Structure 1
């Protein structure tokens, strides 16, 4: 479908009908110990990107992008994880230009806000992304402690990318599921991925 934004993963784009529709909020849920940041870095190469970091410093994100052995862009990086992170996020989201990507890494910090305030933030984010044909990628950790507002994030998201990482003997197996695609068809099967220097499809076969 024309106008869709490619993820850079050919198999995934094909299953999504050409990519992600502009104006979408994407939730990427992943274990904290996975290489899920590689997804975020590749999105920075697709078009202008505002990268909001809530845990790592601006310098840490910038250094990671420079060291990445995958395609990356030149995003504007802002650390909003200190005082009043939700207020900082609101102000920056409201100034997003036309046709830009927004990455929030990680959204967990914002999800700890009072539910009514966080709900308001999500609705304002959706309005801004739709009006500017933008794309928002919310990176969420599937760790030992899940923030109280994660259900709100999952409900508001137009697409949910669920990365599952398992260690089987000497092999690390990464599988990507798309259980939710509002306005499209959710995938019935997972995609096996290699997350090393870049995001790539793993074509090796599983051996029971």
Structure 2
């Protein structure tokens, strides 16, 4: 079943990926926490960046906690897709939370540490998990969305129960504020118990899949669950273009 935009759209938050919003009936439910489970190479990081930019263009504040990439790489990749966020960063609408540098601060060249801002320098001895919790629970007066890219680092570095408890905190904050949180996770890196725990605690689960067919790679999205929505009974093909993630759908936007 395909979903079109309707009068309930006010209760939905657009993802920034038009074809996906159509399939979701206008977007994801307000206050939801979405797990994006993707195989390596399936372009989950592009989805996360597109989701962030979608929030900015919808006049939301965005925080983007990165544990897998330097901030400079993310901003450069976003510019390659035409998502220039310099002005948003300057205005404070887009806020990067750098957990990546915390992981490697003591082994990075001195020249790198000298380039850190005063704010990031103060955070150098902060535990990444505490940084994640502090970021998620920070009081925000404007409507916003949050991205955690990715939770796989935290699952490698901390006990599962600690990670699940933190996601429950993030989820409760989202429900209280109406904010949507996107949490990325690498498929196949963790055992089934870990994956099922995270699938259970999140309001929505979107899987990015890849398979080889002859000399081509087919990519598809499976909406495994979404709060308040009857799950689709099929996968949705997608491509990565110069505009980002684009779904192959003939659904007309009403």
TM normalised by structure 2 equals: 0.72
Radius of gyration: which is bigger?
Answer: 2
In structure 2, the residue matched to 1:84 is 127
In structure 1, the residue matched to 2:76 is 63
In structure 2, the residue matched to 1:164 is 209
Q: Is residue 2 from structure 1 mapped to residue 9 from structure 2 by the alignment?
A: yes
In structure 2, the residue matched to 1:41 is 49
Q: Deviations over 1:76-103 (max 9, x none)?
A: 1122142632111001111152421111
In structure 1, the residue matched to 2:151 is 107
Q: Is residue 117 from structure 1 mapped to residue 136 from structure 2 by the alignment?
A: no
Q: Is the 8 A contact 1:53 1:106 kept in 2?
A: yes
Q: Deviations over 1:47-78 (max 9, x none)?
A: 32111111111222222222224x46543112
> Residues 107-146 of structure 1 correspond to what in structure 2 (within 5 A)?
107-112=151-156, 113-143=158-188, 145-146=189-190
In structure 2, the residue matched to 1:201 is 247
Distance 1:96 1:166 in 2: 42
Q: Is residue 93 from structure 1 mapped to residue 136 from structure 2 by the alignment?
A: yes
- Helix, strand or coil for the counterpart of 2:68? coil
Greater shift, 153-162 or 97-106, is seen at 97-106
Aligned length: 202
In structure 1, the residue matched to 2:221 is 176
Distance 2:84 2:210 in 1: 23
> Residues 15-54 of structure 1 correspond to what in structure 2 (within 5 A)?
15-45=23-53, 46=55, 47-54=60-67
- Helix, strand or coil for the counterpart of 1:8? coil
Q: 1:59 to 1:42 in 2, by over 3 A?
A: same
TM normalised by structure 1 equals: 0.87
Q: Over aligned residues, Cα RMSD in angstroms? A: 2.1
Q: Deviations over 1:162-202 (max 9, x none)?
A: 11112222322111010111222111111111113211123
| Shift, 1:203, TM fit | 5.7
Q: Is the 8 A contact 1:163 1:175 kept in 2?
A: yes
Q: 1:96 to 1:172 in 2, by over 3 A?
A: farther
Q: 1:12 to 1:63 in 2, by over 3 A?
A: closer
Q: Is the 8 A contact 1:111 1:150 kept in 2?
A: no
Distance 1:188 1:162 in 2: 14
Q: Which is helix-richer, 1 or 2?
A: 2
Bigger RCO (CA 8 Å, 6+ sep): 2
Q: Which runs of 4+ in 1 moved over 4 A?
A: none
Q: Is the 8 A contact 1:29 1:142 kept in 2?
A: yes
